[in-house]
């Protein structure tokens, strides 16, 4: 990382030194104003000097003021050259490039500022040439003013387009980077949670063992034994939740597909998510026909269902019901997860499955990507029926056996 940074810095300095060398060459090589030492030539020298100092100091002073200064000094430099050396028609090209300077700083405010300033300045320059100069010094502009104006604004449009694309990409990358960091944190938290769950399991097993002993002890009354049985049941429920959580949090490496009864898997996923739904008073309702079997890996199937149902719960309003229905259609088993929640627009549906796409403040935007992968892996299909504000129906179908 340090190496890359110093390499980048070196490239910056080499480029800047090259630019300074070119500017200095311009001062001395074949310069018609060199002997004069009038105001024009002195301002040229001064601007080269100020610009060189600014460029050399910039890496150590990456402030907004400095960027504004570099942009203004560079613009003044190009305009000065344009006026000092009218015979060098190519300096007009530099005027067109002025708004490109803030692009190098990735500063949009400064970009719009220089774009507007440059357009106003060029209009004034053209007016000067047409009204006062009348083609004496700038015949190549005066002879076709309209063409030059069109070319100038065309070049500004191209620069704007480049800026727009680069800016969009940079913004996207920034979001992407932040989300990668967030998902890294979540991964660690997930691993810790899995470790904690694993540790809780051991004391539970010990407590359950003792409870079982007490249950068999004849010195306890029948009423006590009933209560002990209840304790054992509750411990089993806790153990079940932990097992489920661990199976999703730490999937085994070798993933093998088996014949799965959709109803049984859905029932266990429902139990796992019921308490999550109850946080906002949401109920999960199952409407499943018997004997729907598909070939899939249990853990991945649960992962798929948990993600879809969790999204449905999170989209729901307080008190809403999430309905899950399973039907057989031709050779497929179709699972529908229906919510009455916030729904999605067409653009939102299109973005589903894009890694890190999430509209939730604490979302990871990974859930749907995982789902799409699992559905594809087992030759299934997934579709969405939704509109903003009117809920969502997610249909997942797999070949039945
Ligand atoms: P996350 O849940 O972490 O945000 P997902 O990949 O699971 O990531 O979902 C991506 C986005 O899709 C969600 O942020 C949400 O905006 C939208 N979404 C998914 N399912 C639903 C749904 N049932 N209703 C409304 N929006 C949904
Ligand atoms: Mg989700």
The Å distance, Cα 374 to ligand 2 centre, comes to: 15
pLDDT at 9: 84
Q: In angstroms, what is the span from residue 189 Cα to ligand 1's centroid? A: 21
Q: Looking at residue 1, what is its pLDDT? A: 47
Query: Given ligand 1 and candidates 341, 353, 358, which is best to mutate, with the most ligand atoms within 8 Å of its CB?
Result: 358
The rounded distance, in Å, linking the Cα atoms of 235 and 211 is 10
pLDDT range class, residue 247, cuts 50, 70, 90? low
- Please tell me which residue, 175 or 161, carries the higher pLDDT value: 161
Model confidence pTM above 0.75: no
Strands (E), 292-363: 293-296, 321-329, 332-339
Ligand nearest to the CA of 179: 1
83 Cα distance to chain centroid:
46
Q: Considering the chain, what percentage of its residues have pLDDT values greater than 90?
A: 54
pLDDT of residue 155: 95
- φ, ψ of residue 385 to 5 degrees: the values are -120, 115
Over 90: is that where the pLDDT of 157 sits?
yes
Query: Which residues have CB atoms below 5 A from the ion given as ligand 2?
Result: 311, 367
- The alpha carbon of 393 and the centre of ligand 2 are apart by a number of angstroms equal to 15
* CA-363 nearest atom, ligand 1: 3
* Lowest mean pLDDT segment, chosen from 180-189, 305-314, 330-339, 366-375: 180-189
Rounded to 5 degrees, φ, ψ at 363 are: -80, 160
What is the percent of the chain with per-residue pLDDT over 70, rounded to a whole number? 96
Give the pLDDT band (50/70/90) at residue 30: confident
Ligand 2 centroid–CA 375 distance in Å is: 16
pLDDT above 90 for 142: no
State CA 60 to chain mean position distance. Answer: 30
Helices of type H across 217-344: 222-249, 262-278, 298-315
Q: How far apart are CA 245 and CA 276, in angstroms?
A: 13
Which residue's CA is the nearest one to ligand 1's atom 18? 311
Q: Which of 3-12, 44-53, 229-238 is predicted with the least confidence, judged by mean pLDDT?
A: 3-12
Computed over every residue of the chain, the mean pLDDT equals: 88
The band of 256, judged by pLDDT with boundaries at 50, 70 and 90, is confident
pLDDT digits (tens, 9 = 90+) for 63-83: 899 999 999 999 999 999 999
Average pLDDT over residues 161-168: 91
Cα–Cα nearest to 79, from 50, 111, 44: 44
Alpha helices per DSSP H over 38-132: 39-57, 64-84, 91-97, 100-105, 108-128
Residue nearest to atom 8 of ligand 1 (CA): 365
> Is the CB of residue 368 below 6 angstroms from any atom belonging to ligand 1?
yes
pLDDT at residue 370 in the model: 82
Assess whether pLDDT exceeds 70 at residue 181.
yes
Mutating to test ligand 1, I would choose from 189, 305, 363 the residue with most ligand atoms within 8 A of its C-beta, which is 363
């Amino acid at each position: 990382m340090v190496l890359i940074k110093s390499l980048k810095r070196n490239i910056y300095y080499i480029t800047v030194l090259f630019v300074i060398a070119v500017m200095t060459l311009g001062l001395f090589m074949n310069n018609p104003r060199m002997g004069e030492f009038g105001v024009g030539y002195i301002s040229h020298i001064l601007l080269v000097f100020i610009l060189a100092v600014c460029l050399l100091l910039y890496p150590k002073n990456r402030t907004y003021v400095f960027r504004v200064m570099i942009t203004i000094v560079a613009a003044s430099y190009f305009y000065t050259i344009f006026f000092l050396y009218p015979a060098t028609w190519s300096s007009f090209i530099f005027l067109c490039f002025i708004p490109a300077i803030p692009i190098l700083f990735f500063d949009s405010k400064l970009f719009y500022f220089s774009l507007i300033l440059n357009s106003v300045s060029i209009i004034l320059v053209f007016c000067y040439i047409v009204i006062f100069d009348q083609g004496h010094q700038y015949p190549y502009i005066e002879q076709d003013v309209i063409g030059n104006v069109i070319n100038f604004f065309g070049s500004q449009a191209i620069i704007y387009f480049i800026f727009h694309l680069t800016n969009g990409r940079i913004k996207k990358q920034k979001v992407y980077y932040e989300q990668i960091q967030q998902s890294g944190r979540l991964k660690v938290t997930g691993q810790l949670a899995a470790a904690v769950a694993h540790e809780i399991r051991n004391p539970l097993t010990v407590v359950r063992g003792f409870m079982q002993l007490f249950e068999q002890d004849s010195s306890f009354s029948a009423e006590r034994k009933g209560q002990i049985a209840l304790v054992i049941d509750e411990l089993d429920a806790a153990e079940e939740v932990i097992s489920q959580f661990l199976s999703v949090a730490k999937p085994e490496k070798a993933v093998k597909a088996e014949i799965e009864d959709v109803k049984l898997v859905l029932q266990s996923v429902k139990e796992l998510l019921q308490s999550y739904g109850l946080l906002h008073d949401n109920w999960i309702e199952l409407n499943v026909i018997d004997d729907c079997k598909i070939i899939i890996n249990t853990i991945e199937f649960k992962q798929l269902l948990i993600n879809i149902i969790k999204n449905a719960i999170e989209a729901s309003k307080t008190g809403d019901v999430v309905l899950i229905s399973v039907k057989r259609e031709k050779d497929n088993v179709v699972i529908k997860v229906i919510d009455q929640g916030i729904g999605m627009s067409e653009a939102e549906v299109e973005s589903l499955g894009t890694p890190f796409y999430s509209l939730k403040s604490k979302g990871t935007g990974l859930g749907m990507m995982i789902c799409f992968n699992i559905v594809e892996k087992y030759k299934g299909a997934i579709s969405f029926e939704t509109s903003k504000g009117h809920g969502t129906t997610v249909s997942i179908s797999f070949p039945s056996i």
